[in-house]
Structure 1
Amino acid sequence: MKLCRNILVIDDETRWLRTIAMVLNRHIPEAQTYTCENSRQALQLMRELDITLVLLDLNMPYLDGRELLRDIREQLPYVRIIVVTGLNETDIAVACMKQGAYDFIAKTSPTDQLLMCVRRAMEVITLERSYHRIKDGFFHRRQLSSFDQLLTTDVKMLDCFNYAATLTDSNKPILIVGEPGTGKRLFCDALQQLFCEDAPLLQLSLAERSSAELEVALFGDNETPGILQTAANGIVLLSELDHATTAVQMLLARLCQTGRYFPRGSLREHTLNCRLVFTSELTLEQLTEQNFSLALSYVLRPQRITLPPLRERQADIGLLLQHFTECACNTLGKNYLTIPDDLANHLRQYTFPGNISELKATVNHAVSISNEQQLATAPFMQMLAHTCVAEIPQKITFPTPLPTISAATQQLIHEALVRTNNNQTAAAKLLGITQSSLSRRLSKSHE
């Protein structure tokens, strides 16, 4: 990890300043080290030299180290501070950490310990600076600037951006596949900025909707225009494709194939001018296994985008953690909270079943209960502890004699419906199948 960052050592002892500057320049040549003897000039120097790490002595004339620490935290919250202490100042140093200092070290500490402390701080700074570089326009290129809100350095996600940029001149429907919480809606917002920035983006859910209801909503009638006409040259997002009934799938396949439709009660045919974007939690291959419309799958197959889950984007966890923390602090009116060094590493061991949405919700909760200068870790520890318990497989006890597969399936469906209060959509999710597949199974059981 490259450590090209600027360090400022603040102390009124000239000899010690020269010594520490010589040590840092020799052992950490990637970072440029500056010195400052007058604490009153420190803030101005930090702004001019783009300082990211400060080694701060506590006992200085003019402006005391603790006062300067307070000023730095208020005016330059992204600067990391290592407090340099004397022999009998440990309690004061700990109090400074509670006020936002990153770490503390005694002047009499061995050189190796000092260098380890500085390197650890610089590695954290590198992660933070990478995040801000991305936020401030890492993707501000000609076509990919639309995806600025999707922070990532992951190759798979960047491939999704590049592929989407090639679809600008086409008017064929697009399928976005991804687990819950992977950012399908946010990706669709980016497509709207990419394809038709001045045209609207309208959304319609396909879950629990009959073909007649969908026909009215999409096509409209003689008196009320449908969503396709209202969208004009914009985008219509049809979400939850994996919960669409067979009749709905047939209607959509016909619309995608012909690009034309009749409003209800009208003899005048309309042309589809808007761009259709579908989202699904299941892949086309998984849908096909559940008797999904082959006609619709053939239409959607050429232009499909699969968003990787967060567990496959481990390099992004630190960036997203930083971003959501900053956003939550701004929303709640809190000062900037530093993130514990090893928190991102711990989170990389977590599978994130809720993906980015789960991480964002956890960060918001952590920021809301944080009452010092550092982000609270309790919500994350609870999340990690929960997944450890959840991963323990449950042993299923089978009766004697064994039931047939058909009987066991019916009992499993019955249990899922009982647990969800007869909500077929929720029961289908619990069973890992689509709502239309569950409906077919229920129909067969009543024949």
Structure 2
Amino acid sequence: MFVQSLSTVGSVIVMMSKEKKMNFSVEVLADILSQSKSTMEARIRRGELKRCEESGTIGLDQVEHHPEIQSMVQTLWDDERAVKPLRPYKLVELFAGGGGLAIGMEQAGLESILLNEMDKHACATLRHNRPDWNVIEGDIAKVDFTQIEEEVDILTGGFPCQAFSYAGKSLGFEDTRGTLFFEMARAIKETQPKVFLAENVRALLTHDDGRTLETIKSVIDELGYELVEPRVLKAIFYKVPQKRERLILVAIRKDLAQKVKFHWPSPYRKVMTLRDAFYAGELYDTDVPESEGQHYPERKREIMEHVPQGGYWRDLSDDLQREYMGGSYFLGGGKTGMARRLSLDEPSLTLTTSPAQKQTERCHPIETRPLQVREYARIQTFPDNWEFKGSKNAAYKQIGNAVPVNMSKALGHSLVRLLNDIESLEQPTTGNA
């Protein structure tokens, strides 16, 4: 029944999209297709793509053959959001940070029964916003997960990427001791959740020539779980105005894995930009509220005044390039994050733990200043009423390290659908013999 309704909705969205003549800016289309702007411009020069004379955009009919575009046009987004838990599913979250993953899971209908985090400011944030959450502050190695009395349906967390020590040809669970992945694996072993989700940086795919991920896969198998083929998800596809990528690992306990299937979340039908983040509209009901933020030194501000929207250090005059870049002026590489001003009509670049770092500048599109705390939070799709505790820099760190809330929610709905399928398996069938 669910599949049938998804198919119907998909066909409706196809028709609606064609009627509305969906168009894409060159910048956003480049992000969707994972191509550079220069590549897109070259395609236009060769006549492969043609801009609309009035808007300068590319029409849907020119790019609808691309799988990425097809998945947006035929999206099952709305139906997936209609999925509700058959019962309250219990969630344990590790490395919870400032709450991005936890909020998304909550919005999808999952119930947190324990959250572990070491950073005191992040713990204060979680407790302040959700006084009823069971927040365990401190080193995960000191948490005894066997004390959890409730049945754990799902365990989530983003463990930091660390190399393992390769003494032998292959490593098992005990051999990874001393790493934070070992502690997550221990939590899985002690709670035996039906499903777990781990998120990490894209670089984990190739970390230590791929050996780190292979070890993780081996331990997951040893723990009694079947790993769904990992995917790198792009936040722009999940109603997040940010070019952020995360590697997602989902695993299902082996006694259940052959009976159910995990479905990755469908993309949203359009890409959100900074304009959506900062002004009232589809993402938020109001313009972004004023908040505290970092400031530029006077000379840096004077130089940044000359950078256009979407531009960076190469858009400065040669004299200012030399002054701003110093010795880096003569080095190779694009260094595209330096003196970078964001654009209102594109998603933000990936946020870091500080908006004013020289290598990863995140300057406001219109005003010459670093992004403020609430602007940072909106780019990560945090609710405006979610307050961050600690200093201004502590708030930036919590936001910059978070999983975007809307992407977490999309994953949460996929997990709820999976847990519903598992729940249906476990319910006794009734009927006439």
Alignment TM-score, normalising by the size of structure 1: 0.28
Which protein is bigger by CA-based radius of gyration? 1
Alignment TM-score, normalising by the size of structure 2: 0.29
Larger helix proportion, structure 1 or 2? 1
- Which has the higher relative contact order, 1 or 2, with Cα contacts under 8 A spaced 6 or more apart? 2
